[in-house]
Structure 1
Amino acid sequence: MKHLFIVGALALFSLPALASPAHSYAFGQPAAAAKATRTVEVVMGDMYYAPRSLAVKAGETVRFVLINKGAVAHEFSLGDAVMHAKHQKEMLAMQGQMDHSAMGHGGMEHGAAMQHDDPNTVMVEPGKSAELTWTFSQSTPIEFACNVPGHYQAGMVGRLTIGQ
């Protein structure tokens, strides 16, 4: 009987974790590349994206091919301005924890030190490419941005409009 009570209590306490995923987004969700109905190539340079704006439709699944032609690591992150501001604070904290230059260990490699598991975000090292596939769910304006400290402020942000 005691074991049944313990199992029941554990099941009850784990329900909130099962009911709300760690990452949920009002504008959509990650998808498998095979589900994409369109592929969009985005070039990442030092402090710019090309193109600077994108338009998708609600319900559309888009495979983004991200090509970093810049000299440093850059990020492609989908979200609204509030999400990006929060993410930038997290990235700044990661940089502070990983910056060993004051100890004579050289400068920080942004990409290696700032890896994270957000499904709406991909870090791309210089000269490399990566992919992100996303199904957009509702008509709302969002941004794609690089949240490596200082990059967003230097203009590495673009508008993504989700239409009907």
Structure 2
Amino acid sequence: MLPRHFAIALLLGASLSAQASPGEHFAFGHPADAAQATRTVEVTLGDIYFEPKSLDLKKGETVRFMLVNKGRLLHEFNLGDAAMHAAHQQEMLKMTASGMLTPTGMKHDMAGMDHGMAHGGEQGPEQGAAGMKHDDPNSVLVEPGKTAELTWTFTDATGLEFACNIPGHYQAGMVGKVAIIQ
């Protein structure tokens, strides 16, 4: 059995590497290294709001999002369309029900849990309640008072949103629109 601090370090390292994995592609783009960003956009995550509420981005642009949680709750910044968010919300609900996510954070001592929105939210037979983690390259969790970042290269897309999929947050209005302009 690994010492607790070593297991936490492994979990954090795996999570960071998954978020920075430039090899994974989505219909609306792919993750990128921060050094490739042509612009930095700061997004404030408050308790049930984003500021700004919409973003105009250029096709082919690489954007480094600085995500500042000024609220008292755990929030997520997730890029996707409405169907992706709906699937991801079900996974987040399971993570909350399992105790992995709390209103203010993520329990890092539940290192064996995994989930996979990146592939349409499908879970293989080896996954289940004991197979959840939050490491999708198009998504990041930000605890209260913390700052995180996500860098993304955008392609042509319609219906693209950024959202918080913590249970109830999307439904309460914590969603914004992304317009890809030529």
Structure 1-normalised TM-score?
0.78
Aligned-residue RMSD, C-alpha: 1.9
SS in 1 for 2:43: strand
Aligned-residue offset at 1:83? 0.2
Identity %: 62
Equivalenced residues, count: 136
Shift of the 23–36 alpha-carbon distance from structure 1 to 2, 3 Å rule, reads closer
What CA deviation, in whole Å up to 9, does each residue of 1:73-92 have, x standing for no partner?
A: 10000000000000000000
| Contact 2:39-2:63 at 8 Å conserved across structures | yes
Q: Aligned residue for 1:4?
A: none
What per-residue deviation string (whole Å, max 9, x for no partner) do you get for residues 61-101 of structure 1?
000000000001100000000000000000001111117xx
Query: Is the Cα–Cα contact under 8 Å of residues 69 and 145 in structure 2 kept in the other structure?
Result: yes
1:17 maps to what in 2? none
Is this contact kept in 2: 1:141–1:162, CA < 8 A? no
Contact 1:65 1:131 in 2 (8 A): yes
Q: Matches of 1:23 and 1:82 in 2, distance apart?
A: 19
The one of 91, 96, 105 equivalent to 1:111 is 105
The offset of 1:137, in angstroms, is 1.4
What is the one-letter code of the residue matched to 1:50? E
- Tell me which protein shows more helix as a share of its residues: 1
Structure 1 runs (4+) greater than 2 angstroms displaced: 107-111
Structure 2 CA distance for aligned equivalents of residues 133 and 94 of structure 1:
25
TM-score normalised by structure 2 residue count: 0.70
Contact 1:77 1:147 in 2 (8 A): yes
Deviation at 1:115, TM superposition (A): 4.9
Q: 1:134-149 alignment to 2 at 5 Å?
A: 134-149=152-167
2:40 matches 1:35: no
Q: Can you give the 5+ residue segments of structure 1 that lack an aligned partner in the other structure?
A: 1-21, 100-106
User: Once the 2 structures are TM-superposed, how far is the Cα of residue 24 of structure 1 from its aligned partner?
Assistant: 3.5
**Structure 2 CA distance, aligned partners of 1:38 and 1:141?**
22
TM-aligned CA deviation for residue 163 of structure 1: 1.5
Task: Tell me the SS of whatever aligns to 1:141.
Answer: coil
* Alignment of structure 1 residues 10-21 onto 2, 5 Å: none
